[in-house]
Amino acid sequence: MFERIARCPVCKKQIDVLTSPTKETSGYGEALILGDSRRAHAVESPQCVGAKGWERGWDLDDFVEVPDPPKAKMTPKQYHRGKLHITWEYVIPKEISNTTVDALDIAAQSRALAMLNDGYREGELCEVVDGVEYRGWWRNQAT
């Protein structure tokens, strides 16, 4: 994984850290991610706004390679309905928001139910939440 620090072009203070799996980033993605940080910095440091250089948006340091974040297997979740007994799990980072876990659970249920209708009893899960891809597996255990 790679990181690059985004700095205010005026005071050079760090306003955010961009992470990416490769040394490629898109200006559009950076604009989306850094827009909030820049607005927050404008509030905290209003003297930077309007100063020469502020209109550039941000300065980006060079990429630095960092170790991948630790991964942990989520506790398998279960869903019962009638004869259905679906379990699923994802590989997730150690720090993950409850909102993301909820979104993954909902996605896993609907994906599993759709695949069951197609005759499968287990299958892969691949969901993108807030731009991050999570992979997992579901199965229907006959009871």
Under the binding rule (CB under 5 A), the answer on residue 45 touching Zn ion is yes
Determine contact, residues 91/134, Cβ cutoff 8 Å: yes
Q: How far is the CB of 131 from Zn ion (least distance, A)?
A: 26
With CB under 5 A as the contact rule, the residue among 2, 5, 7, 11 that binds Zn ion is: 11
Under the binding rule (CB under 5 A), the answer on residue 8 touching Zn ion is yes
With CB under 5 A as the contact rule, the residue among 6, 18, 34, 48 that binds Zn ion is: 48
Please give the residues from 65 up to 84 whose contact with Zn ion meets the rule CB under 5 A.
Answer: none
φ/ψ of 134, rounded to 5, equals: -120, 135
Using the contact rule CB under 5 A, the part of the chain among 1-9, 25-33, 56-64, 127-135 near Zn ion is: 1-9
Task: Tell me the C-alpha to C-alpha distance, in Å, between residue 41 and each of 6, 9, 28, 56, 128.
Answer: 12, 11, 20, 14, 29
Q: Where does this chain bind Zn ion (CB under 5 A)?
A: 8, 10-11, 45, 48
